[in-house]
Chain A
Amino acid sequence: MRRRLVVYSAAAMVLAAMLGPPLRGIDRDSYPLSTYPMFSRDRGPISRVASAVGLEADDDLHRLDPHLVAGTDEVMLAVQTVSKAVRDGTDATRRLCEQIAGRVAAHPDLDRVVTVVVRVEEHHSVGYFRGERTPRSVEEHGSCGVER
């Protein structure tokens, strides 16, 4: 009987832990108990992505990878880093821009990049892969020079 009580208590806790967040309609995702919201929402065909780019003196553009942008190999973390800086305003954007510029300055293949720009680009996400590579709109949120 004692074993049954332990097993049923444990099973009830597992069910409550796993099903509690979705049944309560919690919107904010967490860890390790999750509502697994990934890919569930209809985001529409237009994507607004906060990113950072490097510009040469003649305005040639270089896409900057997650390591240069956020010091990580995780692209999602890099996306969130730029998004949060943009949300947090001018000071946060400038700080991030300077951090990125420091990493760009130390990168041997980017010695022609003179400016880093933090910006939000709007693309038609499906159209991008049909060849529409030019953003529909670009909002610049900050820029800084690359000092070497």
Chain B
Amino acid sequence: VTAVAMARRADRRLLSPMPPERLAALRVLVGAYALAYLLVRLPHLLAVSRFEDPRFDPIGPLGWLDGPVPPGIGQPALAATLVAGAAFVAGWRWRLTGPAFAVLFLAVTTYRNSWGQVFHTENLVAIHLLLLALAPAADAWSLDRRARRARTSDDRTRYGWPVRLISLVTVLAYVVAGWAKIRNGGLHWVTGDVLRNQVAHDNLRKALFDDAYSPVGAAAVRYGWLFPPLAAVSLAVEVGAILALVRGRLRILWIAAAWAFHIGVLALMAIAFPYQLTGVAYASLLPVERAPAWLRAHAPQSLPASMIRWRKRWVRTSAG
């Protein structure tokens, strides 16, 4: 009876309606994040596009490649990804540009990960983009909507389940990471020196390559007693991600804990997970479509006047 009741509850949750603006907000947030990420990492991606050496070790969807892609193909593909990304965010010609950006982003980031090192910083965003691309994410807040190429449907269930699948992917990524630690390290991962040695090893590699390492991590590894509690909290956050599927305070609590966990990783190892640190990774778990109205309601009333004064001052300075 309990299993049937749980199945019914899961069914209701998965198929419950949601406003189209939630999906649209996710399209804008995740798309803008992915586009900004590509722009910030452009020098690195261009360098990777010129790699020719035998380091090439293709993985995932590019596993079929038998050698590096010539720059004459890689660099135009990178440019096409940026253009498709702008269209994705704007919701322009969604049925074409949505899937195009998701696939191109996946191709570009898979190629970057195909040189002997999988970075784990882009996995979630790549899967989120794919799910968004298959959903009616440009029915609202889009150029397609403005041009009447798209309209919102009265059937609001079609906007709910893609958001819930995106959330499920986020949760599962953490659970799988936690499971890997239990499987590979067992209880020793928490009680032993596994985390301490990992933090020390990671910072050591950076130091030996004259790269920036974490002074916090370098100082912390001197105190072994710090690490079992840190390991226990890390594991609890990862395995406890399942709590994010429960609505209400538990979900908010988990999001805060997960974000703090990534701050901890940044502090101890100088490893940034920007998708998580910006909060965009958790957007599907929150009513992000309400953000514009909230911002309008809470924006300082004097802002327009102060902006006008600032503009006048800027014009005077520029003219002078």
Contact = CB atoms under 8 A, between A and B. Distances in A.
B197 A43 contact: yes
Contacts of B218: 129
Contacts of A63: 207-210
A42 B185 contact: yes
Nearest to A18: B172
Contacts of A44: 197
What are the 6 A-B residue pairs with the smallest beta carbon separation, nearest first? A125-B200, A36-B177, A80-B116, A63-B210, A18-B172, A40-B184
- What class of interface size applies to chain B in its complex with A? 35 or more
Given A31-B109, A32-B123, A51-B209, A3 B196 contact: no
Instruction: Give the residue among A7, A79, A83 with the most B Cβ atoms within 10 A.
Output: A7
Nearest to B130: A32
Nearest to B115: A77
A102 interface: no
B122 A32 contact: yes
A7 B119 CA distance: 31
B265 to A, nearest CB: 9
21 contacts: A14-B168, A15-B172, A32-B122, A36-B120, A36-B180, A39-B195, A41-B184, A42-B193, A43-B194, A49-B208, A51-B209, A63-B207, A71-B51, A73-B44, A75-B205, A78-B209, A79-B117, A80-B117, A84-B55, A129-B200, A129-B203
B126 A32 contact: yes
B222 interface: yes
Given A7-B15, A47-B204, A31 B113 contact: yes
Contacts of A36: 120, 173, 176-177, 180
A17 to B, nearest CB: 8
A111 interface: no
Interface stretch (B81-89, B157-165, B299-307): B157-165
A76 B185 CA distance: 23
A29 B195 contact: no
A42 B194 CA distance: 5
B176 A19 contact: yes
Contacts of A18: 168-169, 172-173, 176
A15 B127 CA distance: 12
B116 A84 contact: yes
Instruction: Give the residue among A31, A49, A63 with the most B Cβ atoms within 10 A.
Output: A31
Interface of B: 11, 14-15, 43-44, 47-48, 50-51, 53-55, 59-60, 106, 109-110, 113, 115-120, 122-123, 126-127, 131, 157-158, 161, 165, 168-169, 172-173, 176-177, 179-181, 183-185, 188-189, 192-198, 200-211, 218-219, 221-222
Contacts of B176: 18-19, 21-22, 34-36
Contacts of B206: 75
A88 B54 contact: yes
Given A14-B168, A84-B55, A129-B203, A32 B47 contact: no
A40 B117 contact: no
Given A41-B185, A64-B210, A65-B209, A19 B172 contact: yes
A128 B200 contact: yes
Contacts of B131: 14
Interface in A69-124: 69, 71-81, 83-84, 88, 92, 95-96, 99, 121, 123
A44 B201 CA distance: 9
A7 B204 contact: no
Given A32-B126, A36-B173, A77-B115, 4 more contacts: A32-B60, A33-B127, A36-B177, A72-B47
Given A36-B120, A126-B222, A130-B222, A80 B180 contact: no
Contact of B209 (A34, A35, A79): A79
A24 interface: no
